[in-house]
Amino acid sequence: MAWWGRSALSAFRPWRPAGWRSLFTEVGDVLGEGRQVPSPGRTDMVATRLWGVRTAPCAVGLAVLNSSITGRRRPISFSASASSIFGSGGNSKKEKLFLEDIAELIQARACQRVVVMVGAGISTPSGIPDFRSPGSGLYSNLQQYGLPYPEAIFELAFFSHNPKPFFALAKELYLRSCRPNVIHYFLRLLHDKGLLLRLYTQNIDGLERVSGIPASKLVEAHGSFASATCTVCQRPSPGKDIWADVTEDRIPRCPVCTGIVKPDVVFFGEALPQRFLLHVLDFPMADLLLILGTSLEVEPFASLSEAVQRSVPRLLINRDLVGPFAWRPRSRDVVQLGDVVHGVERLAELLGWTQELQDLIQQETEKISWLLFFLAVHS
């Protein structure tokens, strides 16, 4: 088994068959309405086989699935470099792609199943610190919580012994009342235009949800504050139920067994959410992979960047060159380094979406402002 497959598989060992069956409706969503989908038992068997594939992750195991959904596209005229993606260029040499070529492919509807991977870098413009930036990152500013080392704040053993630092941090982030920024709304626009197959996020801030991207299109790989679970009796509850306690510096307790109620944020050593398994279907079907604001350091999330087929272009908009874009680049990779907001705005400009994006931001900002006003009045 490929090295990335082993690390990813270890995250799923605690799962039971019920976990697979809970994804059954999502499988139907990926394949599309009116198509026969595999039974839950068949899904178990197919996914088990996929993990044993030694070639490109998942690509061989779902080849038949891919061919059944591709369908026919109308003839399209591409630039020389963009046409090389489909082997239609006159020059057999693989030409380097640029941001303009990616925009051209999207405009021509040659890329209609876009998978997006995002990290903390898309939320820093909203005022949420990332984890690793020297000086400004979250790990550099945790001394006030009396931790033995920064990562302890996301470790179950330390949380069980002393949950106060985690909830103090949660309170600080909650009271910031951060809002989505232009990057989130660009991804919302991808969804509105029917181009977003799935958005995989490492972020726990929930800003993707706030921007209007439906839960069916989201995979919150590291969990979120949207829900919570008792650490003793495993009773689930909506995340909003804990905030009255958190804002008053109280540890939220289960009303049934008085155990500590922990937000469903994935701590070190915990299994990833069941929805993360959707990548087994999503990545082999993607015709464009967009990666924004991530260091591609945390596994198994980071290895998903190599799970699309080699013929699929990958676009990295990021502050730094990271992951396989640095140490194992592909001929169809496109890299836009620098400020992520500027990179996304440039892509929107090339797509001719600037005005639509501005209108969406204004519309959603007004909606959020009215909601906050309503909550303030009725609190």
Burial class of residue 147 (count of CB atoms within 10 Å of its CB; 0-12, 13-18, 19+): middle
58 is in an annotated binding site: no
**In 10 A of CB 293, how many CB atoms?**
26
257 is in an annotated binding site: yes
**SS3 at position 213:** coil
Q: Is 342 a catalytic residue?
A: no
Between CA 289 and CA 279 the distance in angstroms is 12
Phi, psi of 326 (to 5 degrees): -95, -45
254 is in an annotated binding site: yes
Give the C-alpha distances (Å, rounded to integers) separating 119 from 130, 156, 290, 301: 9, 22, 12, 10
Kindly name the residue from 222, 279, 342, 378 that is annotated as catalytic. Answer: 222
Burial class of residue 98 (count of CB atoms within 10 Å of its CB; 0-12, 13-18, 19+): middle
What the block records as the tokens of 280 is: 């087994």
H-helix segments, the chain: 3-10, 17-21, 24-31, 40-51, 63-70, 80-83, 99-107, 156-161, 164-175, 182-192, 207-210, 243-247, 279-285, 323-327, 340-351, 354-377
Task: Identify whether the C-beta of residue 305 lies closer than 8 Å to the C-beta of residue 117.
Answer: yes
230 is in an annotated binding site: yes
Active site residues: 222
Annotated binding residues for Zn(2+), written as ranges, equal 230, 233, 254, 257
The binding site comprises: 230, 233, 254, 257
